[in-house]
Amino acid sequence: MVKSQGHAYLQIRDVVKDFGGVKAVNHVSLDIQKGEIFALLGSSGCGKTTLLRMLGGFDLPTSGSIVLDGKDLSNLPPYERPINMMFQSYALFPHLSVWDNIAFGLRRDGMSSDSVAQRVEEMLKLVQLSKFAKRKPHQMSGGQQQRVALARSLAKRPNLLLLDEPLGALDKKLREETQLELVNIIEEVGVTCVMVTHDQEEAMTMASRIAIMSEGRLLQVGAPGEIYETPSTRFVADFIGNVNLIAGTLDEDHPDHVVIRCQDMTHYVGHGITGHQGMEVSVALRPEKIRLSRQEPTGQHNKVQGKVRELSYFGSYTVYHLQLGSGQVIKVSQINAERHPEDVLTWDDLAWAHWSDSAQVVLTQ
Ligand code: ATP
C-alpha cells in the first residue's frame, strides 16, 4: 500500500555521478513514497545501476542528496544505511544452508540466537521455503534461490529494499511466475522498494511507478498505464510496448482540435495539442488501438488503406503488417474473438485501418 505524505519517504535531489567526465547520472530528482515499488527502467548504460548503487551507498554522488525518512544519507557508508540490496547474482553463500544464509546478517549484528531463530523461521514462512531450510543453494531451483536471497535481504527489516535485476537470472517462464510472487511478498512486508530492470514487462508488472532513464537522465516518471497511454517522447513510446510512429506536420490549429497531415493519411486530434502550422510531429499509435476492415469506414480522418504483407497468429490475437502507399508498414493487432468473419484477412488482402482520435498521441520530441 502506498502512503502519500507531505514529504516523500525517499527524496533524490539533483543527484549527479561523474565518472571521469562521463555523467552516468545527470541531475536526477525523484520522490518515492513509503510502501511503493518503484522501477528504474532503461537500456544498458543509461545509469540505472549507478543510481541504485548510490541509494545503497556503494557509490557516492558527485553532487546532490539522498534523503530517506527525513535523514540525509548521502555520505553514509552502506552498513550505516537502513537499506538492503539484493544483487542480481543473489550472492548466496554456497557452503551455508538456506537457514544459515538467512541468519548470517542477523548473527553478525549480534542478535540473540532465539531472536535469530524466530526471524529466520518467519522469513522462511514468508517466502514459503520452510521445508527447504537445511538445503544448500545448489540443491534448489533458480526461483527458490531467488526467494532465499529475498528472505535474506528482508531479514533485517530494512526501510528500503534495493533490487538489481531481481529476476535476471531466471528463464522467461519462471520470471513471469516469480514476478507476482515477489510483489506479493514485498507488499506483505510493506517495505519501500526500488528496483532496476531493463525489461519493460517486468517493470510494468511489478512496479507501482516507473522512471524511464536514458543517458543518465529521467525521461518520464509515472504509473505503468500512464506511461503506456501518454508517452511524452518518441523514445519512451518506442521503449514501452509496440508502437507505430507516423511522421506528419501540423496543418490546422483550431481551438478544440488540430489536423495532422502525413504522407498516407490525415489525423484528427481533438485534445490538448498546441503548435504552429507546419510543425513536424509524430503520431504514436498502438497496434491494438487500430481496427481493420475490408469496407472503407465513414469519416474523413484517422483511416488508411494498405495491403497485408505479414501476419502472425498468436492464438488469442493476430498481428498484421499493413503496407501503406508510401511503403511505410504499420503494425495492427486484432483480438481474434472480436473479428467480424468477413474481416478475417490474409496475405495480400487490401484492408482499411482506422482508429478513434483518442487512440493517438501526438509527440513533438
Ligand atoms: P547495465 O544495465 O548494463 O548495468 P546501467 O543502465 O545500469 O547498465 P550503469 O551501470 O549505471 O548503467 O552505467 C552508466 C554509465 O556509467 C555507463 O556509461 C558506464 O560505462 C559508466 N560507468 C558505470 N560505472 C562506472 C565506473 N565505476 N567507472 C567508470 N564508468 C562507469
At 224-272, the pLDDT tens digits run 999 999 999 999 999 998 999 999 998 876 777 888 899 988 888 876 6
- For range 332-351, the mean pLDDT: 91
Same domain, 224 and 275: no
Q: Which residues of 271-287 are buried (b: 16+ CB within 10 A; e: fewer)?
A: eebeeeeebebbbbbbb
Tell which one of 16, 17, 18, 19 to mutate to probe ligand 1, the residue whose CB is within 8 A of the most ligand atoms: 19
Question: What is the structure's pLDDT at 271?
Answer: 64
Residue 333 in this model has a pLDDT that exceeds 60: yes
What is the residue with the minimal CA distance to atom 31 of ligand 1? 19
Q: pLDDT exceeding 70 applies to what percent of the chain?
A: 97
Residue 27 Cα to ligand 1 midpoint, Å, equals 16
Evaluate if residue 117 carries a pLDDT over 70: yes
Structural domain range at position 270: 242-363
Q: How far is the CA of 315 from the centre of ligand 1 (A)?
A: 40
Position 11 scores a pLDDT of 97
Are residues 305 and 176 part of one domain?
A: no
Residues 70-93 have a mean pLDDT of 87
How far, in Å, from the CA of 3 to the mean position of ligand 1?
32
pLDDT in tens, 54-68: 999 999 999 999 999
Last residue of a domain, one of 190, 207, 234: 234
Q: What percent of the chain has pLDDT over 90?
A: 71
Q: In this predicted structure, what is the pLDDT of residue 6?
A: 66
Of the candidates 136, 203, 104, 214, the one whose C-alpha atom is nearest the C-alpha of residue 163 is: 203
Residues 105 and 147 in one domain: yes
What is the pLDDT at residue 253? 66
* Residue ID of nearest Cα to ligand 1 atom 14: 47
- 213 Cα nearest atom in ligand 1: 6
Closest ligand 1 atom to residue 53 Cα is 11
Calculate the average pLDDT of the chain: 91
d(CA 289, CA 236): 18
Nearest CA to ligand 1 atom 30: 19
CA 22–ligand 1 middle distance (angstroms):
10
Which among 17, 22, 58 is the best mutation to test ligand 1's pocket, defined by most ligand atoms within 8 Å of the CB? 22
- DSSP state at residue 172: H
Nearest CA to ligand 1 atom 21: 24
User: Are 210 and 115 contained in the same domain?
Assistant: yes
* Lowest mean pLDDT across 90-94, 280-284, 324-328: 90-94
Phi, psi at 39, each rounded to 5°: -110, 135
Q: What is the CATH number of the domain that holds 355?
A: 2.40.50.140
Q: Residue 14: which CATH number?
A: 3.40.50.300
pLDDT at 1: 46
Specify if 3 maps to a domain: no
Residue 3 has pLDDT above 70, yes or no: no
Q: Which residues line ligand 1 at a C-beta cut-off of 6 Å?
A: 19, 22, 24, 42, 44-50, 198
Domain boundary (234, 267, 290) is at: 234
Q: What is the mean pLDDT of residues 306-334?
A: 95
Residue 4 placed within a domain? no
Cell numbers that stand for 39 in this block:
522501477
- C-alpha 45 – ligand 1 centre gap (Å): 5
DSSP 26-93: EEEEEEE-BT-EEEEE-STTSSHHHHHHHHHTSS--SEEEEEETTEE-TT--GGGSSEEEE-TT----
| Domain stops at, among 234, 256, 286 | 234
Mean pLDDT of 348-361: 92
Testing ligand 1's pocket by substitution, the residue of 49, 52, 162 carrying the most ligand atoms inside 8 A of its CB is 49
pLDDT digits (tens, 9 = 90+) for 129-178: 999 999 999 999 888 898 899 999 999 899 999 999 888 777 787 788 88
